[in-house]
Amino acid sequence: MIDTSKIELRNHLKFDLRINSSDVVFVFSGLRDFGKFENGPAGILEVLQDVLEDGVLMVPTFSYSWANGEAFDPFALNAPLMGAVANSSIGLDGFQRTNHPNFSVNILTKNSEDLNSIMPTSRDAFGSGSVFSNLYLRYPNSKILLLGGVFPDCVYRSTFIHTAQQIGQAWYRYIKTFKDPSLQSPDATQLVRYLSNAEFESVNGSLPGVNHEFPIIENYNQYSLDLIEMGLLTRRKFGYGHSRMVSVGDSIECFRTGLKRQLNYGLIHHA
């Protein structure tokens, strides 16, 4: 197994990926491509904080709490659903975790104006007023970074796809309401995929006007190829694999363009 150091990661971020200290970066991270990393997940988080000293660091701390019928506590550790690096950020000084019960995000910045612009103003996961939508509308040049071999099933995918699907009104997802199991907090909403013909019919009053099998299974290989063909995706070697990076604006606009071209864009049976 190879060893990777904090210095190597810092140089990778600053020189290979050209991330500046004042950038706004949303990081999805894994450990599979790092090999044995100096200080483990905490060390990776330290480097990210150092490189983005004057910017904004965001990590996903999705818990799917209400979707699983469980209470959500933004101050509690979750099972490491989004990886050990993201989970290590929960409770750290300076980070502020948003309160969506399924799709919370942990945000670190010294700039109160940036924080106020990014923090959610709605109870929706991906649409208007969400962290993902706020970044798209207010910080389109902010970066989405896939680090350490996360999402190995395709060249590129991220949660921002769901904002593109919601804006583009993708037929194969719908907005579902989630209730607080304790009945103490307001409802939250989230764009979810249809799991059956019956579910589609119950939401829409009729069966879909397209020939497709349920449950909906999504596939982002064509989307990855489109980003590459358009020159929007940065890929740089690190450890056992490649870091992949794209701007929030390009990520969402590319997917929206695909949806306009093909109703089944992003599905396993994409044609």
Q: Please state, as a whole number, how many other Cβ atoms lie within 10 Å of the Cβ of residue 195.
A: 11
Residue 179 corresponds to which tokens in the numbers above?
């209730």
Q: What is the pLDDT along the chain (271 residues), one digit of tens a residue?
A: 788 999 999 999 999 999 999 999 999 999 989 989 988 999 999 999 999 999 999 999 999 999 999 999 888 776 557 888 998 999 999 999 999 999 999 999 999 999 999 999 999 999 999 999 999 999 999 999 999 999 999 999 999 999 999 999 999 999 999 999 989 999 999 999 999 999 999 999 998 877 778 899 999 999 999 999 999 999 999 999 999 999 999 999 999 999 999 999 999 854 4
Q: Identify the three-state secondary structure at position 121.
A: coil
Predicted pLDDT of residue 79: 55
Identify whether the C-beta of residue 41 lies closer than 8 Å to the C-beta of residue 31. yes
Predicted pLDDT of residue 23: 98
Q: Which residues contact 193 (CB under 8 A, 6 or more apart)?
A: 172, 173, 215, 216, 218
Predicted pLDDT of residue 75: 83
Write down the residue that tokens 């290989």 correspond to: 221
Predicted pLDDT of residue 271: 40
How distant, in Å, are the alpha carbons of 76, 101, 185 from that of 182? 17, 12, 8
